[in-house]
Structure 1
Amino acid sequence: MQQLDWIVLSVTLLFIVFYGVWKTRGSKNVEEYILGNNQTPWYVVGLSVMATQASAITFLSTPGQAYHDGMGFVQFYFGLPIAMVVICVTFIPIYHRLKVFTAYEYLEQRFDLKTRSLAAILFLIQRGLGTGLTIYAPAIILSALLGWNLTWMNVIIGVLVIIYTFVGGTKAVNVTQKQQMFVIMSGMFITFFLILHLLPNDMTFSNALHIAGANHKMDIVDFSIEPELRYTFWSGITGGFFLALSYFGTDQSQVGRYLSGKSIRESQMGLIMNGFLKVPMQFFILLIGVMVFVFFQFNPVPLNFNPNNKAIIENSKYKDEYRELEQKLSKLSEEKKEINLIYIDHLNQNYDNPILRKELVAISSKENDLRDQAREVIAKADSKAETNDKDYVFIHFILNYLPKGLIGLLLAVILSAAMSSTASGLNALASTTAIDIYKRNVKSEKSEKHFVNASRFFTLLWGIVAILFACVGTLFENLIQLVNIVGSIFYGTVLGIFLVGFYLKYVKANAIFLGAIISQLTIFYIFYLDKVSFLWLNFIGAMLTVLLSLIFQFLSKSRKLKA
C-alpha cells in the first residue's frame, strides 16, 4: 500500500465515524435512541437494510465464491423479494400498530413473557456470534495480506463502530449507512470496469462471458431436487424465502432499521426497495468474481490465494514438493492463456469453437487437480492450516492489480461494510438486551435517561463481546456461508414462533413455547447429521415449530375436555 492508499482509507473511515457522532449526538429518550424518533425516510430505510446485510463478508467472500463455483450462489437470494412482500403486508403493520421497540415485545403481548424471552435469547446468541464474525472476517484477511496484527485489526474495527453506535444509537447507524453504501457501491463499480479494462485489448465483455460460460461459471439456475446440494432454485425459493422472512422479519438488526421509519408506508417502501435491488446487487458482486476468474485466465495465478499457507510451506520440508506444483501451474497457465487467446479470436469471427471449449474445461480440471494437491501438501505441513482460499481471491486481486488510491478505496469499502453490519448488530443486541431483558425485569420505576444509559452500556458490552469473539474466531470453509449457517440454525425456530403468533390465533403460550424448544433441539441434531443443505434448516425449523405448537395445543385442549 502506498501513501495515497493510506490517505484515502483513513479519511473515508474517519469521516464516517465523525459524521455519525456529529449528526446524532444528544439522544434524550429511549424512543430517540432506539427508534430514531421515527424520522427515517423510506430511501434511508432501504439503504440501511441493504447495508446491514451487506457486510464485509459479502464483498470479500462472494467474489471468491463466484471465482471457484460460479454464479449459482445467486439462487440463495431468489426467495428474498417474496419475503419482502410478506413482511410488508403482515409484519410491519403489526409492529407499527403496537408501537414496539423490538420485534420480541410483540411476542409477550401475543403469548407471554417466557416466549418473548426465549425468542430474544435465541436472537442474542446467533446475532452475538454473527456480529463477531462481521468484525473477524475482514480483520483476518486484511491482517494476512497486509501483515497487520489480527488482534489490533479486530480491536480497531470494533472500537470505530462502538464510538458512533454508543453515541447516537439507531439514528447513528442509519445516517452512517448512507455514506457506507455510497462508498461500497462506488468502489465495486469502479473495480468492475477496471477489471474489464485490464483484460486483453481485443476482448469484449461478451467474450469474457463466453470464457466464463465455457468454464461453467455462468450456470446460474439449477433445478436439481437433490437435498444435499447447497444452492438450487428450490432451496433458494423455499429455504432462502424462510431465511429472508426470518432475518428481515424477526431479526432485530433488520427490524430496528424499518421500525425507525416515518410511517408504515415509508417502512414498506424501504423494504420493497431492498427486494428490488438485493438480487441484482448480489448478481453484480458475483459477476465481479467471475470477471476476476476471467482475468486470471490471462495472468499469473497463485497455487493458493492464502498467503499464510505460502509462509507455512516455505518453513516446512514440503517446500520443494510445493514448488514443483507451482511450476506445473505456471506451465499450465501459459497453455491456458494461449488457448483462451485463440478462443477469443474465433469468437471475434462469430465462431464458438466447441473443441477449444472442451480444451478449456480440461485445463480447468487439471488446474483444480493441482490446487487439490497443493491443499494436501499444505495440510501435511500444518494440519491446522486453513487450506480453503475462497475468501482471499478478491483481496489478492485488489492488492496486486489495482492502481494507487483505488486500493485504499477498496479497503475502505471492505471496512465500511464491516462497520455498517457490525453497527446494526450492536444496536440490535443492545436494544434487545435493554428492552426485552433488562427493562422488562426491572421492578422499580426508572427514568428515560436511565434506559438510554442502559442501552449505551449494553452497546459497549456487546461491542467488547463481539471483539473478544472475533479475537478467538477461526476461519471456516467460506465466511459468507458460515454467517448464513449460523443464522439458519436459529432463524427457523424464531420465525415459526412469529408465524404462529400472526396466523394461528388459537395456539396459546405453553404450546408454542414447548414446540419452539423441541424444534430448536431437533434443528441442532439435524445440523449435526449434516444430511441436508443448511438453507433447508430455515424451512424445517419454521414448519416444525408451527406443527409442534398445533399438536401441543390440540393435546392441551383434549386434556381439558376430558377433565
Structure 2
Amino acid sequence: MNTIDWSIFILILIITLAIKQFKLQKVNSSSIYDKSTLNYGVKLIAIQSFVYSFISLPGQAYSQGITFLQLYLGIPIAVFFTLYVIIPKYKIAKTKNAFEYILNHSDKKIHNLTVVLYLILRMLILTITFYAIAMVLSILVKVNFKTLLIFISIGFIVLHLLFKNKNYLFQKHNQLLYCTIIIILIFTCILYKLPLGMYIDDTLSFTASFDKLTLIDSKLAEKDKFDLTKCLINGTILFVALLAMNTKTLQIYRQSKYSYKTKDSLFIYGLLNIPFQFFILLTGCILFTFYQFNDAPLHYNPNNVHTVKQSIYADQYNEIKQKYHKILSLRKEASLLYSGQIYQNYSNEVLQDQILSLTENANKLQQEAKTLIKKANDDVEVNDSDFILLHFINFYVPDGITGIIIAIFLISLISLGLREINWLTKSILNILPIKKKNKANEHPIKNRYFLVSILVIILILLITYHVPVFLNLIQILWTYASLFSGTLLAILLISMYGRANNQIFFVSIIIVQLSIFYLYFTTNIHYLWYNAIGLSGLTVLTFVLSTVYNSISISQKEKDILI
C-alpha cells in the first residue's frame, strides 16, 4: 500500500476504536432484532457467514472453479428440515437453546458432553479468525507469520480488557453489508481492468472455456473432490446442524416468536444464500481470467517471498521467477488471441490447449518456489490461495480504496474474534461450578471472566502456533464443522425423537466422536463425509446398544420372575 492507503487505513482504525470506546458502549445489542421479516432473513445469513469467507472463497474459485458451490445446494433442504422437524419441538418446549432442550430431555452428563464438543468446535473455528487476521497483516508488514499470531493474541487481550464484554466493533449484519459492497467493488474493478473491448459476456465465455463456471461435472469431481452426491448429503446435514445448534440463530427464532416470520426468514435465508455465495465464487473465477492477461506473482504471500529472498536460496528463486514470467508472457499473448476469437463467437481449441499447458507449467514452477520457501524456513506456511484476492486488492485496486478495504476486513475480523472470545468465555463460565452473582462476589466473578478469556486466547494461540494452515480458510472451516456437526445433530435428534438409555447414549457419543477423530487422522476420507458418519454412526450405534441393553434387561427380569 502507498502513503494514501496507509493514511486512510490508520484513520479508519482510529475512528472505529474511538466510536466504539465513547459512543457504542451504550447501544443495546438486542435492538438489532427488529420486526422486519427480511431483516430476520438477512441476519440469519450474517450469523452463518464469516468475514474470512469473503477473502478465502475467491481463492478457492480461482483454483478450482465454482464446483465448491455444490456444498451450499444443501441449504434449501436444510431449511425445510429445520422448519418442519426441529422448530416445532423448540416451539413446544419454549427452549432458549438446543443445549437446554438436550438437558431437559436427557441428563446433565449428556448435556455437558454436548456443550464441551460444541465449545471445542467453536474454539477451532476461532483459530481461523486468528489465521485470517495474520494473513491480512502479513501483506502490510514483513513479519514472521507465527510472530504475528503472538502480537494478535496480545492485541486481543488488550482489546478484551479495554472493551470488557461489549465486544462488537461492527455488528454482524453491518459486517455482511460492508464486505458485500467490497466484493461488488472488486468485481467491478476486475472487469474494468480487463483488456479493452472485453465485456462481461466475453469475460464469462472466456472463464467458462476453462471449466471455471462448470458447477456439476464428473471429471471435475474426480479432480477437485467435490461431487454433487457428497456435497448435497453432507451439506444438508452440516447446515441443519448450524441452523439448529447456533445460539444466535435460536435467538432470532425466539425474537420472531416461532411465528410465520420465523418461517419466512428461513425461506429468505435459503433463497438468498446460494446466489450470495455464487457471486463471491464468481468473483474468484473472474479473477482467474484477469490474471491470464496480467502478471501473477510466483508466490502470493509477500512475507514468504521476503523470507526466501533473504536466504541462500534467493538465486534459485530468481531463476524460477524468470522462467515463470516467460511462461506468463506467452500465456498473455495466447489469451489475447483467444479472447479476440471468443469476441467473434469462435472457440479455438488449439489456443485453449496451449493456455492450459502454459498454466500447468506455471503451476509446476509455483510448486518449486514453495519447496524453496520451505527450505528457507520450515516454519512458514506455503499455502497461498487465500492471498490471491489480497494481492489483487493490494496492487490493482485504486489508491485510497485499498486502505478502506483492508481496514474494513481487519476491523470485521477483529470484531468477529472478540465476539467469539466473549461467547466462549461466558459459555465456559456457565458450565463451571460458580456461585450465583451477588454484591459480595461480584468482583471475583469479573476476575474469573477476564482470567478465562485470557486463557481462551492463550489456548487459541497455542493451537494456531502449532497447527499449520493445511487448506484454505473456508475449507478449514468446513473441515472443523464436519468433524462435529453430524454428532451434534444426532444428539439433538435422538433427544427429540428417540428413547435411549442415558448411559448408553453417553457412551455412544464418546465412541462415535473418538472414531471420527481416528478416521480423520488415519484415513483419506474426504472431510465432508464425517457429517454423514457422525449422524448415521451415532444413531445406529445408540439404537443397536439400546436394543441389546433392553433385551438383556428383559431376559434378566424374566429370570428374576422365574426365581
Q: Same fold by TM (over 0.5)?
A: yes
Letter aligned with residue 496 of structure 1: A
Match of 1:30 in 2: none
Q: Indicate whether 1:516 and 2:515 are aligned.
A: no
The answer for the alignment partner of 2:56 in structure 1 is 61
The SS at the match of 1:492 is helix
Q: CA deviation at 1:289?
A: 1.2
- Name which of 299, 307, 311 aligns with 2:294: 299
SS at match of 2:398: coil
Q: Distance in 2 between matches of 1:89 and 1:451?
A: 43
Amino acid aligned to 2:475: Q
SS of alignment partner, residue 383 of structure 2? coil
Q: Does 1:25 align with 2:26?
A: yes
Q: CA deviation at 1:38?
A: 7.5
Q: Report the AA paired with residue 324 of structure 1.
A: E
Within 5 Å, give how 1:33-182 maps onto structure 2. 41-147=36-142, 150=148, 151-156=150-155, 166-167=165-166, 176-182=171-177
> Which amino acid in structure 2 is aligned with residue 333 of structure 1?
L
1:280-291 alignment runs, 5 A limit: 280-291=275-286
Q: Could you tell which deviates more after superposition, 270-279 or 9-18?
A: 9-18
* Partner Cα separation in structure 1 for residue 338 and residue 246 of structure 2: 49
1:138-287 equivalences under 5 Å are: 138-147=133-142, 150=148, 151-156=150-155, 166-167=165-166, 176-223=171-218, 230-252=225-247, 254-256=249-251, 258-261=253-256, 263-287=258-282
| CA positional deviation for 1:266 | 3.4
What SS is found at the alignment partner of 2:346? coil
Partner of 2:544: 551
Go from structure 1 to structure 2 and tell me whether the alpha carbon gap of 1:379 and 1:446 turns closer, same or farther (over 3 Å shift): closer
- The RMSD of aligned alpha carbons is 3.3
Amino acid at match of 1:241: T
**Counterpart position of 1:529:** 522
Specify the code of the residue in structure 1 equivalent to 2:525.
Answer: V
Deviations 1:157-178 (Å, cap 9, x if unpaired)? 675578668137xxx69x8122
2:479 maps to 1:488: no
CA contact (8 A) 1:297 1:340 kept: yes
- Deviation track 1:452-491 (CA, whole Å, cap 9, x = no partner) reads 9969964873466236524743432222211221221122
Residue type matched to 1:544 in 2?
G
Tell me how far apart the structure 1 counterparts of residues 395 and 32 of structure 2 sit (CA, whole Å). Answer: 46
Deviation of 1:254 after TM superposition, in Å, equals 4.3
Residue type of the alignment partner of 2:472: N
Per-residue deviation at 1:316? 2.5
CA distance in 1: counterparts of 2:273 and 2:536, whole angstroms? 26
Q: Deviations over 1:419-442 (max 9, x none)?
A: 45435534542453344x14xx55
Percent of residue pairs bearing the same amino acid type: 28
Looking at structure 2, the residues matched to 228 and 299 of structure 1 have their Cα atoms a distance apart, in angstroms, of 26
Q: Which moved more, 1:467-476 or 1:507-516?
A: 467-476
In structure 1, runs of 5+ residues without a counterpart are 28-32
Moved more, 106-115 or 144-153: 144-153
The match for 1:358 is 353
- Separation in 2 of the partners of 1:387 and 1:136? 13
Q: TM-score, normalised by structure 1?
A: 0.87
Q: Give the match's secondary structure for 2:166.
A: helix
- Cα distance in 2 for partners of 1:187, 1:246 equals 29
Q: Which amino acid aligns with 1:549?
A: T
2:409 aligns to what?
A: 414
Does structure 1 residue 502 correspond to structure 2 residue 501? Answer: no
Letter in 1 for 2:5: D
The offset of 1:78, in angstroms, is 1.5
Counterpart in the other structure of 1:389: 384
Encode CA deviations 1:123-144: one digit per residue, 9 max, x unaligned: 1111012113213322234234
Q: Could you tell me how far 1:210 is from its partner in structure 2?
A: 2.6
Give deviations 1:35-83, integer Å, cap 9, x for gaps. 7797675444433332333323212211111112211111121212211
What's the secondary structure of 1:200's corresponding residue? coil
2: CA distance, partners of 1:452 / 1:247: 35
Alignment partner, residue 334 of structure 1: 329
Aligned residue in 2 for 1:466: 457
Once structures 1 and 2 are overlaid, which stretch shifts more, 251-260 or 301-310? 251-260
Alpha-carbon distance in structure 2 between the residues aligned to 1:350 and 1:448: 78
> Aligned partners of 2:252 and 2:158: how far apart in 1?
22
Call closer, same or farther: CA 1:262–1:11 in 2, change over 3 Å: farther
Structure 2, unmatched stretches of 5+, are 557-563
Q: State how many pairs are aligned.
A: 548
Measure, in 2, the Cα distance between the counterparts of 1:133 and 1:379.
Answer: 22
User: Could you tell me whether the CA contact under 8 Å between 2:241 and 2:489 is conserved in 1?
Assistant: yes
- Identify which range, 179-188 or 139-148, moves more after superposition: 139-148
Q: CA deviation at 1:146?
A: 3.3
For the residues of structure 2 that align with 1:10 and 1:420, how far apart are their CA atoms? Answer: 17
For 1:68, the aligned partner's letter is S
Residue identity in the other structure for 2:302? P
Residue type matched to 2:540 in 1?
Answer: L
